[in-house]
Amino acid sequence: MTAPAPAGPAVALRDVRFAYRGGRDVLDIPALDVARGERLFLHGPSGSGKTTLLGLLAGVLLPRAGTVAVLGQRLETMGSAARDHFRAEHLGYVFQMFNLIPYLSVRDNITLPCRLSGARRARLGGADPDVEAGLLAERLEIAGLLASPVTELSVGQQQRVAVARALLGRPELVVCDEPTSALDADRRDRFLELLFARCADAGSALIFVSHDLSLAARFARTVALREVNRAAAPAAAGDPEAVAAR
Ligand SMILES: Nc1ncnc2c1ncn2[C@@H]1O[C@H](COP(=O)(O)OP(=O)(O)O)[C@@H](O)[C@H]1O
Ligand SMILES: [Mg+2]
């Protein structure tokens, strides 16, 4: 059975505080909103909490205070099984470390979310997940690797498998954590084009995290994490982040 499509904006954070066990607050965010279908570039220096923020949006981390609403669902009120299910159904996540499943082939890694979630599979409109995975793999230039174990791939290839997995089944929200860091400029541009085209086609909101400010111009909206995060250290003079945040 397919649950009704969730209503509400892609993301609405209110008064969110997060600290790792025993530590100081890494995030203290009064408000952050992302509209449906919006294409947001989020940047900040290493260690500023970008990956932590995406962990909250994915429901893998829980805030110590505040509300995290994704597609109108309050993740902090849900149990861990419900959050896992919600993530599989509605979120495409390209992890900084890819998080591919080492004992599965490229094809099975890509189709995994559609096998975990009936609702996500249903959004393929009756198409076979393996066939759809093949089409995506072709556009990402990894079609020849579909039957290969992911443990045999280069870093750049693993990255593209992670992207295909995130995009398959048209999730309403796609989050990418530094996904272009292992790609050369040419592949990076094609990768961004594919990502934008698929997100536009599916109406997916995209939150793209990078420290590479040269990519910001390609996004409709750019946010420096320190602009929204009160727990951020003040920008040092001459720091490119300080300039960007002005
Ligand atoms: N699992 C963890 N346990 C404790 N501290 C962590 C953990 N992950 C990240 N941190 C700390 O939280 C802060 C933000 O980290 P992170 O979100 O990874 O930053 P970014 O992605 O912007 O580089 C850093 O100070 C980092 O050391
Ligand atoms: Mg990070």
Ligand 1 binding pocket includes 24 (Cβ within 6 Å): no
Token couple for 241: 């982040």
Looking at residue 235, its pLDDT comes to: 62
Token couple for 14: 């209110």
Token couple for 236: 């040092």
Residue nearest to atom 25 of ligand 1 (CA): 47
CA atoms within 13 A on the CB side of 162: 26
pLDDT (tens digit, 9 = 90+) per residue, 111-121?
Answer: 999 998 988 99
Token couple for 157: 């290839």
Q: Rounded to an integer, what distance in angstroms lies between the CA atom of residue 89 and that of residue 68?
A: 17
Ligand 1 binding pocket includes 48 (Cβ within 6 Å): yes
How far is the centre of ligand 1, averaged over its atoms, from the C-alpha of 6 (Å)? 30
CA angle 95–212–139, rounded 5-degree value: 55
For 81, 153, 207, the CA distances from 74, given in Å and listed in that order, are 14, 37, 18
Q: Is the pTM of the predicted complex or chain greater than 0.95? A: no
**Number of the ligand closest to the Cα of 177:** 2
Q: Rounded to an integer, what distance in angstroms lies between the CA atom of residue 70 and that of residue 181?
A: 27
Ligand 1 atom with the shortest distance to the CA of 54: 17
Ligand 1 binding pocket includes 55 (Cβ within 6 Å): no
pLDDT (tens digit, 9 = 90+) per residue, 57-105?
Answer: 999 999 999 999 999 999 999 999 999 999 999 999 988 778 899 999 9
Can you list the domains of the chain with their CATH numbers? 23-245 (3.40.50.300)
